[in-house]
Structure formats: C-alpha cells, structure tokens
C-alpha cells in the first residue's frame, strides 16, 4: 500500500479499530495536556553560553536551500514513510499493539527509522501547515502508543513475539545492550517526541516518550543496571526531554550513560566487534584522547557529552573533547567534511589514512559531526567549529540525498571507478537500503537547518550561515528583526536588513568563512596552494566601512535604525587544495574548491575519464554558473577539465568520479 497524504490512503491507514484507537488516544492526550510542565524555561540556569535561535524563529527564503527543503517536504518525507510502510516498519507497531496480526519484519532497530522520519515531518509541519501530513502522523503515533507496553517499554522486535526476539533472550530485556539497540531506538523516539510537541503543541508522542524515559530511569543508574547503550543516541534524546520538561532526572540519566562508558562495572568492555574501542567503551571519556571506532556512534557520543557538560557544569570532559576534535580535524577528516575511513567497521582509521576510493564517510557520520560541532560552537564561540559545520553541510552531508529527493548515498567516497558497487551493492545512488539509517536521517536534518543559522549571547547575534531568511531574535533590549538575502554558495555577496520599526541596539557578529580567511579547516591537514586571502568588503547603508574582524567574525556594534542595510562581499576565487604530505593517497594531487563547495570531476563531463586525468600546473580555470544543469550549478572549467560541486555528482551517467586530481609536475 503506497503511503501518501491523500484522503484515500489515509482512510485505508486509519480504517476500523485503528481509527477508533486514534480518536480515543488523542482525546486522552488532550485531557493530560497540562499535567506535566513543559516550559523550557524551567530548566536550570546552567546552559550553553551561546544559545541557538530555534528553528521555529527562522524562515528560510533562499534560492539554494528553499528548493531542497521543499523537495524534502514534498518528496523525501512521504517517500520515506512509503518505504517504511513497504518494509513493515510501520506495521510492526500495529502488530505489537494488537491492531493487526503478523510477525516482526526487518532489522531489530527499524523502530528508530520511523522515529527519525516523524522528527523530520514534525520540523516540516512547523514551517508548512499540512493537514494531511498531520492526520497521518496522528494515526502513526496512535500505533506507536498501542505498541508501548504497560510499563513504558517500547521495542517491537520483542513485544510482537518474545520467542523470536533478535537477541534470543525471550521476555528478558536489556541482556545485550552492545548489539540490540533497545536504548538507541528510544533515543530517537525522544527527539521525535520533542520535535512533534514543539511543532504541534500536542502531547500524544511526548507522553509515549516520557513513559518510556521513566522506565529507563527506573531500570538504569547507580545501584541498578549499570549498562550502557551499544550505540549512543539516548543521551541526546534525554537532554532534549530535560529541556522540554525541566525534569533533572533525565539529565542525570544522560550523564550516567556518559560517565559509565569505559567503566567495567556492570557491563562488558572487552575488545570485540561490538565492544571496546568500536563503541568508545574502552576507557572513560575523560581519559580518551583520540577518535576511535564507529564514527556515527562517536559523533553522537561526543555531541551528547558536550550537552551534558554544558548543562551540568561538568568540566571533566572538556580536555578529552578538545583532544578528540583536534585528532579528527587535524588527521582524520576528509576534505568534504566526511569522517570514517574504514569500511570494515564504518569508522576511524589510523592518522592520515584517508583513502578516497574506499572512504566510508557515512552520511549519518556527517550528520553526527555537524551536531557535535554546532554544540562545540555554542559552548566556546570558536569559529572553527562552524567552519567544519558549513563544510560538512554543503559537501559530506548534502551529497547523501539526490536532487530529486528519493535516492541516497550510504557511504560517500571521494573517488569511484564507475564499476565497483560501493553504495551497499549499487554503483550510484540507491532508492533504499536494508539498513536505511541514512535516508531517514537526512529527512530530519534538512528541515531543522534553520536552527543552526543564528545564535545569540546577551546582546550579540551570531550570523553563522549565509542563507536567505527572516528571523526574530530576542535580545536584552528588545527583539531584533533581521532579513538576510544572498545567492550563496554561488556568490559571496550577502545583504542584511534591519526590519524593526524602532531603533534597537545590537552587536552583529558576521562569520567570515574559513575559505575566506585562507583556511581550509583548523590545522594543517589541508591548505590552499596559492595562500591567497580573498578580499572582503562591507558597507552600511551604501557607505563603505572598515572590516573589523575579531576572532573570525566581522563585529558591528550599533544602534540599528529601521531599514538599515549591511552589505558584505566575500571574494570567491577558485582554490587549489593540497593535503599534508603524510596523506600519501593524495600525493601529487590537488582538489578544487570555490566558496564552501568542494568540486569533483565526473566522466560524463570528461569523456576520457578522470582517474588518470592530469591537470597542467598552470592550467587556467574559469568559473561559470549554468542555470540549466542539475537545477542550476556552478562549474569550473579549464582546457583539460570540467568539474561540478561534489554534492551534485551521480545524477547523470554512471562513470568515474574523483575529488583529488593528478597534477602534472607534482609527481
């Protein structure tokens, strides 16, 4: 049955007893609306020094991103729900809740995929009213509520038929936390529930999440079950529940899971496929100095730990998180912002080991890295974290979903031969995967993008991403109303306009991107070959101004008048990038960038192939924008090469592709 948001399929989905259950469940939730405090101001005073402007306060109106968000809303969200339905992911909840009959279908952690799509759909509802999507979610949430056991346990793989549970433990719960994801699944439930509550004001999914979190809190903790999840995620979800409810025990439980990692008491930390370094469980976090193991697990772990540190005042993690970040950015990250070089464990390899053809660089890992870097920025205000965020956003992440919104990459290599089936058995983009964590993760990150653009501290507003938008930002002396207009990433011009009707004092901190500061990323893993510092100009109300850059930000402290306009221009030259000499796979090669975009060469544009293509040392390269190609993209062309943005590859003929290109006279 195809999942759409039309009335016919909805009637089918909600027919008979399920529809009755939906109505009863929604009525019960409405009656409970005021029973639990859900004011985010109820949390303690400890928090990130810098606060993000929430996605609910930012409206994106952008030539580049609006079409991608609309494709996510119109295509990717319904497509993911359809695939979840076709593969039994949705039906598992109905079966577990006694609404239908049947056996469990799929992988034991498939529940989490559904929660991620719900989270993305909820973000989308916040910015675009969609009654049919809302009704579909109501029905789906009712199935999830029905699947929840009386004490709050939610894991359809066991509930449907304990005798066939994947862990072989029958009715016994939590017997193999390393592998079977009982805690990982519900972490995504918590994130979805908070997003749904924020978007709709309704408690239907939040009640399910709170009931489950209360059970987890009863089972786990000091003097109780001392285990930790094999795949980190619940820590992030618990922090979000704490923020929305003010219940400190959720924050305490998140801290327990962070603290307990690497502590042998109560759980197995022996080296093995699903233990030890693979899941960052080899030593306590405070003693860790390098990034090891599965890269998605690691990114979620570091993000959750950064949350806990900010909200509790815990300082024991700070040195470790800084060392781990340095280890990744200085030695283990790809030019695209991808992480995880090793396919065998989907994770980090040795220092400077960054093979291009076998790069795993999972889309989910790019997402995890973005989540962590945003948190590190909020904690420190250091621009280097948003440099990594932007690089990953436009390259390592965005490549993971097609322009059409219905095919995906699981790994994101930087070189392909046009033959090898690198993408989970496919040479090119795939419509789905047995383990489809990446497609459903893309669904939730794209519509949450507005929440990463702006941040505030006291009377200072950070503009971290240049994306056309309008926002309202509460400050000490009023609310700043700000509009941003730009054609980024194709052009480096940005205009900011004050929309307030009265004068308002504010400090605007406008991020100068790393590429505009002649820095690829922090450290010396990569550098621009020409060492050129792009020109930066700024004018206020058409009057040229000095460019007061402090800590990487153009800082403008002013009493802003209605309709004041700030115009910034970042020169966007074509840049040649070279790697550290210890990255042997890139010896004698260059990569091309322009603005925040990494470029690649595809065989469809270079008929003789690209793996053996050699660019002359003094080849003249030109940039042009082609509005007809791939929904409009910038191209870099020379006598011997044509290159397009990495995010846009694999939309035409299958063939060779490479980011790193041989250069004559460098061998």
pLDDT per residue over 60-72, tens digit each?
999 999 999 999 9
String of DSSP letters for 325-340: HHHHHHHTB-TTS-B-
Taking 60 as the threshold, does the pLDDT of residue 34 lie above it? no
Question: How many beta carbons lie within 10 A of that of residue 367, not counting itself?
Answer: 25
Distance, CA of 137 to CA of 81 (rounded, Å): 10
Count, residues in the chain: 667
Confidence of residue 546 (pLDDT cuts 50, 70, 90): confident
Distance, CA of 217 to CA of 255 (rounded, Å): 12
Confidence of residue 11 (pLDDT cuts 50, 70, 90): very low
What pLDDT is stored for residue 664 in this prediction?
86
Taking 90 as the threshold, does the pLDDT of residue 264 lie above it? no
Which string of b and e fits 106-145 if b means at least 16 CB within 10 Å? bbbbbbbbbbbbbbbbbbbbbbeebeebbbbbbbbbbbbb
Which residues contact residue 598 at a Cβ distance below 8 angstroms, ignoring those fewer than 6 apart?
Answer: 335, 336, 391, 394, 395, 591, 592, 645, 646, 659
Which string of b and e fits 616-652 if b means at least 16 CB within 10 Å? eeeeebebeeeeeeeeebbbbeeebbebbbbbbbbbe
Mean of pLDDT values over 39-54: 73
pLDDT in tens, 284-330: 999 999 999 999 999 999 999 999 999 999 999 999 999 999 999 99
Number of continuous H segments (helices) and E segments (strands) in the chain: 18, 24
Burial zone of 328 (CB within 10 Å; 0-12 exposed, 13-18 middle, 19+ buried): buried
pLDDT in tens, 465-490: 999 999 999 999 899 999 999 999 99
**Closest to 431 (Cα-Cα) out of 93, 32, 83:** 83
Taking 60 as the threshold, does the pLDDT of residue 642 lie above it? yes
What pLDDT is stored for residue 531 in this prediction?
87
What pLDDT is stored for residue 36 in this prediction?
47
> Parallel, antiparallel, or unpaired for β 504-511 and 460-463?
parallel
Question: How many beta carbons lie within 10 A of that of residue 573, not counting itself?
Answer: 17
Taking 80 as the threshold, does the pLDDT of residue 510 lie above it? yes
Distance, CA of 280 to CA of 266 (rounded, Å): 16
Handedness of CA 539, 541, 542, 546 (dihedral sign): negative
Mean of pLDDT values over 235-251: 98
User: Residue ranges of the alpha helices (H) in 261-362?
Assistant: 295-312, 318-331
């Amino acid at each position: 049955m195809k999942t759409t948001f039309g009335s016919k399929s909805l009637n089918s989905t909600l027919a008979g007893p399920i529809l009755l259950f939906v109505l009863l469940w929604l009525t019960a939730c409405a009656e409970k609306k005021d029973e639990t405090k859900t004011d985010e101001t109820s949390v303690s005073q400890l928090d990130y020094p810098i606060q993000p402007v929430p996605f609910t306060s930012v409206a994106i109106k952008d030539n580049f991103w609006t079409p991608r968000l609309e494709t996510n809303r119109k295509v990717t969200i319904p497509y993911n729900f359809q695939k979840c339905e076709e593969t039994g992911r949705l039906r598992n909840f109905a079966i577990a809740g006694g609404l239908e009959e049947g056996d469990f279908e799929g992988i034991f952690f498939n529940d989490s995929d559904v929660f991620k799509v719900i989270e993305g759909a909820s973000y989308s509802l916040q910015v675009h009213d969609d009654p049919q999507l809302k009704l579909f979610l109501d029905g789906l949430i009712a199935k999830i509520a029905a699947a929840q056991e009386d004490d709050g346990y939610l894991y359809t793989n066991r509930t449907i038929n304990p005798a066939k549970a994947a862990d072989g433990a029958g009715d016994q719960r939590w017997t193999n936390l390393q592998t079977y994801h009982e805690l990982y699944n519900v972490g995504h439930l918590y994130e979805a529930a908070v997003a749904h509550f924020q978007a709709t004001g309704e408690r239907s999914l939040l009640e399910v999440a709170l009931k489950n979190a209360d059970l987890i809190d009863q089972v786990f903790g000091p003097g109780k079950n001392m285990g930790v999840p094999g795949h980190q995620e619940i820590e992030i979800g618990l922090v979000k529940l704490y923020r929305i409810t003010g219940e400190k025990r959720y924050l305490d439980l998140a801290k327990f899971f962070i603290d307990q990692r690497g502590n042998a008491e109560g759980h197995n930390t022996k080296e093995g496929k699903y233990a030890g370094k693979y899941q960052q469980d080899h030593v306590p976090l405070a003693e860790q100095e390098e990034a090891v193991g599965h890269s998605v697990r690691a990114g979620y772990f570091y993000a959750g730990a950064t949350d806990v540190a900010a909200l509790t005042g815990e300082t024991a993690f700070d040195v470790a998180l800084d060392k781990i970040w340095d280890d990744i950015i200085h030695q283990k990250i790809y030019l695209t912002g991808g992480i995880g070089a090793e396919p065998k464990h989907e994770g980090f390899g040795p220092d400077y080991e960054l093979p291009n053809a076998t790069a795993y660089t999972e889309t989910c890992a790019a997402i995890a890295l973005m989540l962590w870097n945003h948190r590190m920025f909020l904690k420190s205000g250091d621009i280097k974290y948003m440099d990594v965020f932007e690089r990953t956003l436009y390259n390592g992440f965005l490549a993971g979903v097609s322009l059409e919104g219905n095919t995906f990459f699981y790994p994101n290599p930087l070189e392909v031969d046009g033959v090898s089936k690198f993408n989970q058995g496919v040479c090119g983009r795939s419509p789905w995967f047995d383990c489809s964590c990446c497609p459903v993760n893309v669904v939730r990150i794209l519509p949450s993008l507005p929440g990463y653009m702006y941040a505030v501290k006291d009377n200072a507003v950070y503009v971290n991403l240049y994306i056309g938008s309008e926002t309202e930002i509460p400050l000490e002396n009023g609310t700043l109303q700000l509009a941003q207009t730009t054609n980024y990433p194709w052009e480096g011009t940005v205009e900011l306009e004050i929309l307030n009707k009265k004068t308002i004092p504010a400090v605007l901190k406008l991020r100068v991107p790393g590429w505009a500061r002649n820095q690829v990323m922090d450290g010396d893993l990569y550098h621009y070959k020409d060492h050129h510092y792009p020109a930066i100009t700024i004018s206020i109300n058409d009057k040229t101004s000095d460019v007061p850059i402090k800590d990487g930000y153009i800082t403008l402290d002013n009493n802003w008048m209605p309709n004041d306009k700030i115009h910034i221009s970042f020169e966007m030259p074509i840049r040649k990038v070279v790697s550290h000499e210890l990255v042997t796979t890139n010896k004698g090669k260059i990569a091309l960038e322009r603005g925040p975009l990494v470029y690649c060469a595809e065989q469809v544009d270079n008929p003789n192939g690209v793996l053996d293509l050699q660019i002359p040392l003094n080849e003249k390269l030109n940039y042009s924008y082609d509005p007809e190609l791939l929904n409009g993209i910038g191209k870099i062309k020379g006598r011997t090469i044509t290159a397009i943005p990495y995010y846009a590859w694999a939309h035409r003929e299958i063939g060779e592709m490479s980011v790193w290109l041989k250069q004559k006279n460098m061998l």
